[in-house]
Amino acid sequence: QSALTQPASVSGSPGQSITISCTGTSSDVGGYKYVSWYQQHPGKAPKLMIYDVSNRPSGVSNRFSGSKSGNTASLTISGLQAEDEADYYCSSYTSISTYVFGTGTKVTVL
Amino acid sequence: QVQLVQSGAEVKKPGASVKVSCKASGYTFTDYYIHWVRQAPGQGLEWMGRITPNNGGTNYAQNFQGRVTMTRDTSISTAYMELRRLTSDDTAVYYCARDNYADYWFDPWGQGTLVTVSS
């Protein structure tokens, strides 16, 4: 199972919006609504930000939103803040009852 | 509050085995899967597999089949991941994470356990 494809890095100025893509296949991202997104700060464990493509857990800012079209899922961060600087990973359930993560995206706040 | 607390860092020699524990608290241990995910230094996340605590059933990623064993002890709400025939490529932080039986996401995660494989 190959890793889902994410851009290595995305940057934006405070207040701007950025979007991170996550491209898979019809056997994972495209076949299920089970895409989730995780934020990871250096030296810390990942934190769930979005589940089931577009749902936010309680306590996660509404500046984070998710969507999906075909084999590509996306995470949008609006009103970018300094604290959003971190690595972001997508994850998808797969047709062989396993999970696959994305390659990861480093978000830089300029 | 829901918490997963993992065992401490390990240093192993090539060819050896390592067993990492993940103690759950704040919820009913047998109501949620426990997944294991690893992250090599400077690299991304890699899903290793999961265990179903209520019956011990497992599902492993193909990359680890034959080399990993996931077990649990329900009496102490603890899950274990044992990885055998270690090489330097297994040097990584190993995380456990919870997942409801009806859901498909990981929350929360343990704090991570660094396993270093070095001669």
> What are A63-105's pLDDT values in tens digits?
999 999 999 999 999 999 999 999 999 999 999 999 999 999 9
Q: To the nearest whole number, what is the mean pLDDT of chain B?
A: 97
Q: What's the confidence (pLDDT) of residue B102?
A: 86
* Residues in B touching A20 (Cβ below 8 Å): none
Whether the CB of A46 is below 8 Å from some CB of chain B: the reply is yes
Is pLDDT above 80 for A1? no
- Whether the pLDDT of residue B18 is over 80: the answer is yes
Q: Are A67 and A56 in contact (CB under 8 A)?
A: no
Contact B81, B22 (CB under 8 A): yes
* B104–A101 CB contact, under 8 Å: no
Which of B70, B94, B90 is closest to B80 using CA atoms? B70
Residues of B in contact with A48 (CB under 8 A): 105-108
Residues on chain A touching B95 (C-beta within 8 angstroms)? 45-46
- Give the per-residue pLDDT at A6: 98
- C-alpha B59: how far from chain center: 12
Across B37-59, average pLDDT: 97
Residues A34-71 pLDDT 10s: 999 999 999 999 999 999 999 999 999 999 999 999 99
DSSP-derived 3-state class of residue A88: strand
Positive or negative, the CA dihedral B21, B84, B99, A19 is positive
